A and B are shown apart, each in its own frame.
Chain A
């Protein structure tokens, strides 16, 4: 008489998509904590970015950054530093995100996602792997945005952000591609967001791919090069320089001559902002616990009785009263599997009925 069975109509399962806004300000990526929140590894394959100095237990891993050069890249033969590692990164990313052709060969990143028709391939890429802590189940389609500073002159004081590109997956919300083994992905397009004559033409340029479920953005090195170097920047604007040693070191130079960690340092210095919304797929079981008028009006609480007499009755004909504070969900063996607490006691008597909706999320 204390348990009430839950009928089929009392249980419902639902699926809800929750979204959180994830703003990553460029200062965290490129300077707030100096390099204390940047972790490099002895293997030198990638660099990790934290939201706080990573030696602190409060630090959260937010994303990794690395660069890859495919064997088909025109730069590949010129790579003098960590050549195999840059190729390995490219191959690893492409085999996971693009997959294989019918012969088992690893496919290359394709600018428009139309792999079979050839077209422009992305062979010199920056890779941003967002931690699951941020991307959760997936990056929300149409929400990704990255702002890169493309002011030609090198500086470390924020002066590189006078000219900026906005890279977004604007088509993601109403169109995306599904021919990746890693799930759905969208094309990233770059537009000018600050400065003048930044882009070679006044249009959107496809500069990368964002893999929503994988939480990975692949961005072409072309965003830092002018058209003379095969990039998208206006020649009158000039390509981006990555050092102040007077050599005019451009992106191709750091891709070929720098270690991966050095290249990552240079790229981070150009990140003005990253933001996206994540998606959490919430599967819920909802239990409708119905307390009808003639149910749960008495209590087994030890204080309910005084010398076996019900305290909440002055005379026999008074209605019994009880107060609900807790809902317990049980299995057939009377094992308490879940418990729910009401924020305040709910008065139950024969003249009231309640349906308490308990939702368990998975």
Chain B
């Protein structure tokens, strides 16, 4: 996308997204604009210079010179960061989302790879052996940072996201300012996996006495789960207990696991197309070249709009390839 001409009057470059066109073509009323949001994804607030020697008029000099890109039509590529409305103009701190990798909560990342690894089959999990579990990645659940993508219920390892103030100077209750997040949107590429609850079960919701799968798929194959604390108490804790990752005020906590897609478990085609091979340490001793796919699980707060991109690596033991 090119930059928009910013030499004259402010102009607006509006397009339908690919999802918008899809909804329009469906003709079932799903193309119905009911609300709007404002975004600022090009802005780097780090350019704010509150100590500019020429005074406050120059604090945002570099920010307002930011060139703006033309509109993306891909619905998942835009509106990544949204502007927020709070009634209190004197907020000085705002909560963020942060990965809680505490061992006490089984949320660790893999020691060597520094990301969460998802073992896509039983051999990689170490729950069925090719030469025994010590030569597997997951060591039958003994290796921290390895999630079981084949049988998620068989291990306690999970991904944990905490909300809170990352500053010890603010320790007030977040509820005072309405800053506690009670809902999250979790997005994952359907080709590689889906989100399951900490028990390893499919996330479902019961509304009007009807139970349905919570996942919604967009035109790009991204699964989106809008999880709320009142419906999914296993997944969202509004007032969690420690250990915490924040020195300041503590907010809610999101916990989930990932189930690898069947195609990752059963064959190598996606690994060959989207992945790479990497030598990764086995549970006990030695390392072996394993097939990997790196992707991102995106978590966004429903109320406050904070987001965090969690890197995740799907891994397959070569003995199964």
Which residues of chain A have a CB within 8 Å of any CB of chain B? 1-6, 11, 285, 287, 289, 291, 294-314, 316-317, 319-348, 350, 356-360
Contacts and interface: CB of A to CB of B under 8 A. Distances in A.
Given A305-B94, A336-B17, A343-B10, A4 B79 contact: no
Contacts of B231: none
Contacts of A326: 38-41, 71, 78-79
B112 interface: no
Interface stretch (B99-107, B165-173, B283-291, B311-319): B165-173
Contacts of B59: 312
Interface in B65-117: 66-73, 75, 78-79, 81-87, 89-96
Contacts of B50: 311-314
Contact of A337 (B16, B84, B92): B16
A342 B4 CA distance: 8
A340 B13 contact: yes
A4 B14 contact: no
Interface stretch (B132-140, B202-210, B261-269, B302-310): B302-310
A358 B10 CA distance: 13
**Chain A interface mostly helix, strand, loop or mixed?**
strand
22 contacts: A1-B84, A1-B303, A2-B37, A2-B305, A6-B34, A287-B36, A296-B38, A296-B83, A296-B85, A297-B89, A298-B94, A300-B83, A301-B40, A301-B45, A308-B165, A312-B59, A325-B39, A325-B40, A331-B23, A334-B226, A338-B20, A345-B63
Interface of B: 4-6, 10-17, 19-20, 23, 30-46, 48, 50, 59-60, 63-64, 66-73, 75, 78-79, 81-87, 89-96, 165-167, 169-170, 185, 216, 218, 226, 248, 301, 303-307
A243 to B, nearest CB: 54
B40 to A, nearest CB: 5
A339 B15 contact: yes
Contacts of A332: 32, 34-35
In the A-B complex, the 6 residue pairs with the closest CB atoms = A300-B305, A326-B39, A337-B20, A340-B14, A296-B83, A301-B81
Given A308-B94, A309-B93, A335-B218, A343 B4 contact: yes
Contacts of A339: 14-15, 17, 71-73, 75, 78-79
B217 to A, nearest CB: 11
A289 B34 CA distance: 11
B39 A328 contact: yes
B96 A338 contact: no
Among A11, A327, A332, A344, residue most surrounded by chain B Cβ atoms (within 10 Å): A344
B69 A341 contact: yes
Given A296-B38, A300-B304, A325-B43, A337 B33 contact: yes
Given A335-B218, A338-B33, A308 B167 contact: yes
Contacts of A320: 86, 89, 91
Given A301-B81, A317-B90, A336-B20, A289 B14 contact: no
Contact of A345 (B66, B86, B170): B66
B68 A343 contact: yes
A348 B75 CA distance: 24
Contacts of A305: 93-94, 96, 166
A324 B40 contact: yes
Contacts of A345: 40, 42-43, 63-64, 66, 68
A312 B48 contact: yes
Contacts of A342: 4, 10-12, 68
A333 B216 contact: yes
Contacts of A327: 12, 14, 36-39
A316 to B, nearest CB: 5
B48 to A, nearest CB: 5
A346 B85 CA distance: 16
Contact of A297 (B15, B44, B86, B248): B86
Contacts of B248: 308
A362 to B, nearest CB: 9
A322 B72 CA distance: 21
B45 A312 contact: yes
B9 to A, nearest CB: 8
Given A300-B301, A308-B93, 16 more contacts: A1-B86, A285-B33, A296-B85, A299-B84, A301-B81, A308-B165, A328-B78, A331-B34, A336-B17, A336-B79, A337-B23, A338-B14, A341-B14, A341-B70, A343-B6, A345-B66
B167 to A, nearest CB: 4
B302 to A, nearest CB: 9
B46 A6 contact: no
Contact of A300 (B19, B60, B70, B81): B81
Contacts of B32: 331-332
A317 to B, nearest CB: 6
Contacts of B17: 336-339
A284 to B, nearest CB: 10
B40 A5 contact: no
Contacts of B185: 334
B71 A291 contact: no
Nearest to A330: B35
Contacts of A4: 35-37, 85
A6 to B, nearest CB: 6
A308 B96 contact: yes
B11 to A, nearest CB: 5
B33 A329 contact: yes
A328 B41 CA distance: 12
A313 to B, nearest CB: 6
A285 B15 CA distance: 12
B6 A330 contact: no
B34 to A, nearest CB: 5
Given A330-B33, A337-B31, A310 B92 contact: yes
